[in-house]
Amino acid sequence: MSGLRERAEGARRTLVADLTEYLEQETPSDDLAALAAGLGWVRAWIAERLGPADAERTVPGGAYGDIAVLDLAASGGGTGTVAILAHYDTVWPLGTLAGWPVTIDGDRLTGPGAFDMKAGLVQAVHAIRIARDAGLPLPAIRLVLNGDEEIGSPASRPVIEDAVAGCDAVLVFEASAQGALKTARKGVGIFEVTTRGIEGHAGLDPERGVSAIDEMARAVLALHGAADLAAGTSVNVGTLQGGSRSNVTAGLATALVDVRVTDEDEMARIDEALSALAPHREGARLDVAGGWNRPVMPRSEGTAQLFCLAQRAAEQVGTTVEEISVGGASDGNFAAALGLPVLDGLGAVGDGAHARHEWVSIDGMVERTAVAAALLALLGDPAR
């Protein structure tokens, strides 16, 4: 284990070169052609770095990016099975690179998708490679690559759930949170509230119309009132549209609502609050659509033990790691809901997810690659 840090340091230039080339494959979630090309690059690159997979399959994503599942056999006398989750899509539209090319300034590397989460996959692949080269025991590894995470994983969720079933642990190479690993994530609900009223002339006949906007305003107040930040529950009406003209009583209004919760009891309470929404005036209608996009990822006993193993791995390569609970969700939530131990945030050290200033630390890439290699070796060691 003591030589893993040196091996990762020896791979520094290749880590940077690989991430740079990966970032130059633009992969917006809503562009099927770009996603197909990006996944093709990823698979060819993984084969170049690790050799052909022992088994692989591609699940068509339909209206979304395809999902690739690559199986790597255990090596070095390792046992067990570990799943690694990594999405290859980003929030950045095609053409972003033209105005924001990959740039290196000292320890900082910037580019669209660098932090969220292309650096994570680069680190994971290099971690496998250097652990193999060191002859360490590695478990069987199942790589799951999906292209729809940034839009809620509508096509990949059942594939992920099937792929991780029966695994001993699930490692998610999403970006860290200020360097900390993520041992708990909130559940996420995405809902659409629609109110319908009766249009009328706002000046000539103000009492005949029934305003959908007035109904929506009351619903927004009720929704925001359902938040309980002390309990970890946030409710945000993020967008609101309605009406046609200032002199027409609004006949239609719609709102998109983001909800984050820390446990199933809060999920049930929010469901009740949504069910309780009702129109105020006769002639108005109110409908709620949508649902819970990702279940809660609690800090289970298995996840706590997995984090302790990551601490051991970090110590063995001369560093430390911390843990944190975050409000954002990932595909790790799906695995946690199946009762599996999940450790998230194993990817980049940096900042700026979904922002123009997103960046990764190159030193962080080297260090976390070594940590991941040591963690995989511990997970594969039958004597641990």
What percentage of the chain exceeds 90 in pLDDT?
98
Boundaries of every domain in the chain:
4-185+297-380, 187-294
Residue 350 pLDDT greater than 90, yes or no:
yes
Q: What pLDDT was estimated at residue 1?
A: 74
Q: What pLDDT was estimated at residue 379?
A: 98
Residue 275 pLDDT greater than 90, yes or no:
yes
Rounded Cα distance, 80 and 115, in Å = 30
Q: 145 pairs with which residues across the strands?
A: 68, 86
- Tokens 């809902």 identify what position? 191
In CATH, the number for domain 187-294 is 3.30.70.360
Start-to-end C-alpha separation, the chain: 13
**What tokens were used for 272?**
């009740």
Give the count of beta carbons closer than 10 Å to the beta carbon of residue 323. Answer: 20
**What tokens were used for 185?**
């994530």
- Pick 4-185+297-380's CATH classification: 3.30.2350.10, 3.30.160.100, 3.40.630.10, 3.40.50.300: 3.40.630.10
Residue pLDDT, tens place only, 12-22: 999 999 999 99
Q: What pLDDT was estimated at residue 345?
A: 98
**What tokens were used for 171?**
């490692």
What share of residues in the chain are helix, strand, coil (percent, to 5)? 40, 25, 35
Residue 234 pLDDT greater than 80, yes or no:
yes
pTM: 0.92
Q: What is the mean pLDDT of the chain?
A: 97
In 47-73, which positions are buried (b, 16+ CB within 10 angstroms) versus exposed (e)? eeebeebeeeeebebeebbbbbbbebe
Residues with Cβ within 8 Å of 348's Cβ and at least 6 positions away in sequence, in order, are 114, 115, 116, 117, 119, 120, 123, 175, 176, 360, 361, 364, 365, 368
Query: Burial of 339 by CB count in 10 Å (0-12 exposed, 13-18 middle, 19+ buried)?
Result: exposed
Give the count of beta carbons closer than 10 Å to the beta carbon of residue 245. Answer: 9
Rounded Cα distance, 255 and 276, in Å = 16
H/E segment holding residue 252:
strand 252-261
Residue 205 pLDDT greater than 90, yes or no:
no
Q: What pLDDT was estimated at residue 274?
A: 98
Q: What pLDDT was estimated at residue 383?
A: 86
ω into 117 cis (within 30 of 0)? yes
CA-to-CA separations, 158 to 111, 162, 164, 338, in angstroms, rounded: 31, 6, 10, 12
